Structure 1
Amino acid sequence: MSNTLPLIQRVFAALALLVLLAGCSTTTPPDSVLAVPAPAQKYAAIVVDARTGKQLFEVSSTAQRYPASLTKMMTLYLLFEALDSGRVTKETQIPVSDHAASQPPTKLRFRRGESIDVDSAIRAIVVKSANDVAVAVGEYLGGSEDQFAAMMTSRARQLGMTSTIFRNASGLPDGGQMTTARDMAVLGMALHQRFPQQFHYFSESDFMFRGRLVRGHNDMLGRVRGVDGIKTGYIRASGFNIVTSYNADGRNLIVVVMGADSARQRNDHVEALIQRSLSPTMDGAKTRLMFAEQ
């Protein structure tokens, strides 16, 4: 295990204490209004300075939410660990079982007996959010998807994700699979700090697979200078989720928004939170949250 993990755990232990003490604390330019995507009962957000661990913004960041495809961040975390340990290489072929192939879209649509190399699997999970590939990775690393989900939850606890339970490798609907915006920020920071050599995958917006161009879902890439990943997610129960990494001009932020009513509202909100967090007049000020009509 990397030496960065104790630091991550210490940083977010302090963050958890701040959340407990401050409650729904916000700081931004005086009397500013931040439009919040509907529906309010699904919304949660947090912005963290990834260099210092300082919480810059939070609303309902410890409330239970459905992760949707943000789940795949942990699937990738364990796959990156397997790469680091030498258990797999980027050329290793991962078989796609009938169970994996039967997952609902989004997916790459494999036929019986086919496989995918690890490098392509990473790109398929990051860019396409391919459910069939995520399940195939889970089965390969865990022996079964259920065993892999237990591994995911165990690693989450070790990282300091205190309120997350994983039930599958993909993020497809499961009433027992829960997380929080804070825990997703912990995972985003851990991926950035633990696997800097692999983090470039999260900045890719398309990839070639079997001679065709596969385009991605993360419209924040290229929209805001400095955004270099990480992952989007959606199921009906969760709304539109995203974890975003911003890294420019000596600033490194992790922004989590959960429960938006559309991808556009989610992305607009992330951009507003980034601008707010970079504002030199933000400290000591207040933010009024304006929720959209429901």
Structure 2
Amino acid sequence: MAFVRRLLVALMLVLAGLVPAWATPLLLADRATLDVLYAEDAGLPWHPASLTKLMTAYVAFEEIAAGNVTLDTPVTISRKAFNLAPSKSGLPVDSAITLKDALYILIVKSANDVAMAIAETVGGNEANFVAKMNDVARRMGLTGTHYTNPHGLHDPAQVTTARDLAILALYIEQSFPQYMPMFSTSVVNLGKAKLESNNGLLKSFAGANGMKTGYVCASGLNIVATVDRNGRRLLAVVLGGSSGRERNERAADLFLKGLSGQLRPNGQTLLTLGNAVGAAPTDMRSLICGKDAATYVKAQEAAFPMGLKDQPSFLTDQVAERAYTAVDLGRIRTGIALPRPRPPHVPQFSMPTVADNVTPAPDATLRPGIPVSAGVMIPYPMPRPSFRP
């Protein structure tokens, strides 16, 4: 009966003219061949939210490869970075971590403050870094993508598509395979804090090894996920989920259908998929965070109940936690001159030559201002008497 009620709610929403339960972008592709196995609204403009950080990471990888920074370069949390809205690392202003640790926290925790700190470190400032992001998007042929910030907090002009996100993910894996373990990590330990990933597949879907989740009200809950299983290498993109449950379960559903052969190549590749260039991005705010949110979530649950209480789930595997430990380097302030090293000691007086069994005469120059005659004993000062009240 509960399932029937959910279906009735979904039907009422459709009849009322609200967004249909299935109208969010979905994409499944074979990473080995680039074949598209399933695509629904894959070229529809969408707000990327924290999926933006895939490009933030890629730009950092390029700058490391160019020799402009290294994995050991200190990344400092500026006041501007600290003041950003969550998700955040918990690091205070002026604290520093290595770029390697920053990238792990960026990808796993999706920390906005760390995204800004990386941008300021690698690009000199946010604007320069964003220019690099858009240059990479142009070089990759991401015709439906434009960036205005490195973290993904909502900006109406920050936009992408499921197709572009899939291509970006493939470029990361192809160009910088050495960094892929970052995307399969499910938790980062930072001091006493345990920074966990929102990618539920990493903990409960065998073969899952990446990549990133994202959420703002305007986008709904997004995910780019990768799986290696039974010799297959698949990639899924789900945008606009009404909950983390729905987003993760939909991605797992796509993977299982692709692995079983239920979804097969449709004659397109990721590179031949088109983008709806010039179209306005979908704005999910009223459905995710606004007055229609409760009704919309019920409709989504009715249409896709997997993972709800008393319902089956695709996420049932026991996957060992993959953890990484980051180190807080402490506070680093710039613009402060370090103390100059102490100059080496140069003796000002030559050592006297001492003959055997001869007591040398005192050297008057060793006690400037005190006349000393040869053979005269100089008494030490008497000790100070104890004070008695």
Q: Same fold (TM over 0.5)?
A: yes
* CA apart distance, 1:211: 4.1
Structure 2, unpaired ranges of 5+: 1-18, 267-298, 304-389
Equivalent pairs: percent with the same residue?
A: 37
Q: Please say if 1:129 is aligned against 2:117.
A: no
How do 1:85-234 residues align onto structure 2 when only pairs under 5 Å count? 85-234=66-215
How do 1:48-63 residues align onto structure 2 when only pairs under 5 Å count? 48-63=29-44
In the alignment, which residue of structure 1 is the partner of 2:219? 238
* CA apart distance, 1:157: 1.4
Deviations 1:9-31 (A, max 9, x none): xxxxxxxxxxxxxxxxxxxxxxx
* CA apart distance, 1:200: 0.6
Deviations 1:252-284 (A, max 9, x none): 111000001001011111111001111235448
Moved more, 73-82 or 41-50: 41-50
Which of the two has greater strand per residue?
Answer: 1
Structure number, greater radius of gyration? 2
What letter matches 1:49 in structure 2? D
What letter matches 1:202 in structure 2? F
- Report the aligned-residue RMSD: 1.9
From 218, 226, 247, give the equivalent of 2:228.
247
> Contact conserved, 2:186 with 2:203, CA < 8 A, in 1?
no
> Contact conserved, 2:73 with 2:98, CA < 8 A, in 1?
yes
Structure 1, unpaired ranges of 5+: 1-37, 286-290
Deviations 1:68-89 (A, max 9, x none): 0000000000111122223222
Q: Partners of 1:211 and 1:83 in 2: how far apart? A: 29
> Contact conserved, 1:39 with 1:260, CA < 8 A, in 2?
no
Q: Secondary structure of 1:221's partner? A: helix
Against the structure 1 CA distance between its residues 46 and 284, is the aligned structure 2 distance closer, same or farther, given a 3 Å change threshold? closer
* CA apart distance, 1:216: 2.0
Which of the two has greater helix per residue?
Answer: 1
- Which one has more relative contact order, counting CA pairs under 8 Å at least 6 apart? 1
Q: Secondary structure of 2:153's partner? A: coil
Q: Please say if 1:274 is aligned against 2:255.
A: yes
From 51, 57, 63, give the equivalent of 1:82.
63
Q: Secondary structure of 2:222's partner? A: strand
Aligned residues: 252
Q: Please say if 1:263 is aligned against 2:234.
A: no
Against the structure 1 CA distance between its residues 127 and 241, is the aligned structure 2 distance closer, same or farther, given a 3 Å change threshold? same
Against the structure 1 CA distance between its residues 283 and 230, is the aligned structure 2 distance closer, same or farther, given a 3 Å change threshold? closer
Against the structure 1 CA distance between its residues 119 and 275, is the aligned structure 2 distance closer, same or farther, given a 3 Å change threshold? same
What letter matches 1:153 in structure 2? N
After TM superposition, the score normalised by the length of structure 1 is: 0.81
> Contact conserved, 1:39 with 1:259, CA < 8 A, in 2?
no
* CA apart distance, 1:238: 0.2
> Contact conserved, 2:35 with 2:265, CA < 8 A, in 1?
no
Q: Partners of 2:114 and 2:161 in 1: how far apart? A: 25
* CA apart distance, 1:63: 0.6
Q: Partners of 1:282 and 1:168 in 2: how far apart? A: 36
Q: Secondary structure of 1:178's partner? A: coil
